[in-house]
């Protein structure tokens, strides 16, 4: 996915911010009876995005998605997903996205980055 972590989107009259990648869960794997679903998604780098609602509004089918702002770090949802899932040596690069990650997820990602930095030292 080409969305940059932290970019802001206008859709209808609502305003959103891209906060993270969507990691497929084991529930879908069980439902579809595809035991290696998460591994397959990770290998392919296919994912969706989580969005933070910055301003509520009306959103309807066919509404355009307009990018209002984009951080300079350039880390996309797909890149962050790939780093976390399969390219862990690159975790320190994700430091740039920490301010945009949801409050509940930020400590988990920060801890992964810290562990990788310690391992590389």
Q: Which has the closest alpha carbon to 10: 66, 55, 61?
A: 66
Split into its structural domains, the chain has a count of: 1
pLDDT in tens, 82-94: 899 889 999 999 9
Q: Tell me which of 43-52, 64-73, 101-110 is least confident.
A: 43-52
Q: What tokens does 59 get?
A: 């959103």
Task: Return the axis-axis angle of helices 37-44 and 77-85, rounded to nearest 10°.
Answer: 120
What CATH number should be reported for the domain holding residue 32?
Answer: 2.40.33.20
Under a CB-based contact definition with an 8 Å cutoff, are residues 102 and 19 in contact? yes
CA–CA gap between residue 67 and residue 65 (Å, rounded) = 7
Under a CB-based contact definition with an 8 Å cutoff, are residues 91 and 113 in contact? yes
pLDDT in tens, 9-22: 999 999 999 999 98
Establish if 72 belongs to a structural domain. Answer: yes
Q: Could you tell me the residue range of the domain that residue 77 belongs to?
A: 8-120
> Which pTM was predicted?
0.84
Establish if 3 belongs to a structural domain. Answer: no
Establish if 2 belongs to a structural domain. Answer: no
Other C-beta atoms closer than 10 Å to the C-beta of 83 total: 21
Under a CB-based contact definition with an 8 Å cutoff, are residues 2 and 70 in contact? no
């Amino acid at each position: 996915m080409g969305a940059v972590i932290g970019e802001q989107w206008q859709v209808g009259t609502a305003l959103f911010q891209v906060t993270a990648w969507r990691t497929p869960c084991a529930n879908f794997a069980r439902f579809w009876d595809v035991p290696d679903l998460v591994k397959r998604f990770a290998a392919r780098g296919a994912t969706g995005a989580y969005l933070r609602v910055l301003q509520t509004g009306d959103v309807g089918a066919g509404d355009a998605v307009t990018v209002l702002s984009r951080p300079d770090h350039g880390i996309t949802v797909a890149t962050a997903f790939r780093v976390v899932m399969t390219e862990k040596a690159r975790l320190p690069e994700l430091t740039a996205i920490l301010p945009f990650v949801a409050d509940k997820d930020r400590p988990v990602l920060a801890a992964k980055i810290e562990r990788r930095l310690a391992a590389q030292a």
